[in-house]
Structure 1
Amino acid sequence: SFGNSPMIKTLQRRTARKKTKRLGEVQQKILLLLLGGFALSCSRSPSKTLQIIRGMHATWKDIDKQSADRAIQALYESTLVDARENPDGTITLTLNEVGRKRALTYRCKDIKIPKPSTWDKKWRLIIFDVPEWEREARDSFRDHLDYMGFFCIQKSAWVYPYDCKNEIDFIIECLDIRKHIRFIIVDHFDNEEHLKKSFGLD
């Protein structure tokens, strides 16, 4: 089968030694495109790097092809996509499960927690203990909490004053870490005045 071809095996051996890195903006856009069900057809340049020949999305008019080609090569080396060699010598890239989870985390960045007109005097406490072998998901979850305005009271304990359960549920489902997360509603903290000041509450 094409999945066992020498070219694919060589690529897999090369990429197996590479660790997943933080992705740039173009790489994130490509992941989200693939998440939507698109497949990218690529060819090999003389230098053996991947080049897109079909599948560029109309909304990418602000991205030049050279940048897109570099992003595709980096994505492949991060093992977030699968490659299938076609009879005509081209290679089709599709999102694999690891890439799907990563793409979903970028979609999570669009989440905004609505702020009510009045505070219900309760705190939402998020406690998590994600194992080291899921470090990428753990770091992503922490980054999302920070981005959404949560306050870190300990290394793996974050607090927020407004209802956010639906938003947190969505993120932990995307990251597949539900069993490592605890969502607690708290009436009072001993350092509550400091927290109130941090969130601009009376």
Structure 2
Amino acid sequence: MRSEILKNQRAESRLRIGQIQRRVLVLLYAGLALSLARNPRTGFKILKLAHKEWQKINKYNLQEAIRKLYQSKLIKYKQNNDGTITLVLNEKGKKLALRYNLDNIKINKPERWDNLWRIVSFDIPEYYKKGRDALSSKLKQLGFYPMQKSVFILPYDCKKEIDFITEIFGLRPFVRLIIAKETDIDLDLKNKFKL
């Protein structure tokens, strides 16, 4: 398992993915269709920008991004009966799209606090150090308060987000989410989170 993760990290670090290519991967992952035609001389030609998210990308830049993603073997295409083409993410493309989706993840703050603390605790082996550091950094970025090096706390529901993050980093077996009614430092935490 460890060698597979290291191999994937090396392969991903060799890939040069631009901002528009990232956006294309994430939009395809979200299931937003794009109608294309295949031209032997010019490659893919965009027929219709069906969704408004696609319209935010310059048409030429979008075609270039699709071409590069296809050459990088992150996407493949399926020929439809009507002559159009459907772009499909392969497994490598899906993993990369998930990773880029991670950059946009946020935890919603409810209007009223439910009086529960969410504690993320982890014991990650040294050979997953990069993943451990990335997890700590992401938790801080999301507003978690570090109680210790491997224990973070937040007063808002975050189960889906933690599941997603641990899946992306491949750390699910090492991370626990605890929901607690009180801690011995409740007053300090309430002040910290302005509750």
**TM-score calculated relative to the size of structure 2:** 0.59
Shift of 1:124: 1.4
Shift of 1:51: 5.6
Match 1:188 to one of 183, 187, 191: 183
Residues of 2 paired with 1:71 and 1:92: CA distance?
A: 15
1:125-175 CA-partner distances (Å, limit 9, x unpaired): 213437756957973x55653453222344543220123224433444566
Provide structure 2 residue ranges, at least 5 long, that are not aligned to the other structure: 1-10, 79-84
RMSD: 4.4
Provide structure 1 residue ranges, at least 5 long, that are not aligned to the other structure: 1-15, 85-90
Residues of 2 paired with 1:76 and 1:165: CA distance?
A: 35
Identity, in percent, stands at: 33
Q: Where in structure 2 are the equivalents of 1:2-21 lying within 5 Å?
A: 19-20=14-15
Specify the SS of the correspondent of 1:168: helix
2:193 is matched with which residue?
199
Amino acid in structure 2 at the alignment position of 1:182: R
Amino acid in structure 1 at the alignment position of 2:110: K
Residues 1:29 and 2:23 are matched in the alignment: yes
Kept after mapping to 2: 8 A contact 1:125/1:158: yes
Amino acid in structure 1 at the alignment position of 2:66: I
2:158 is matched with which residue?
164
1:115 is matched with which residue?
110
Matched residues, number: 173
Kept after mapping to 2: 8 A contact 1:127/1:181: yes
Amino acid in structure 1 at the alignment position of 2:112: S
Residues of 1 paired with 2:136 and 2:16: CA distance?
A: 17
1:6 is matched with which residue?
none
Q: Where in structure 2 are the equivalents of 1:115-154 lying within 5 Å?
A: 115-120=110-115, 122-128=116-122, 129=124, 135=130, 139=134, 144-154=138-148
Shift of 1:179: 1.7
Amino acid in structure 2 at the alignment position of 1:53: K
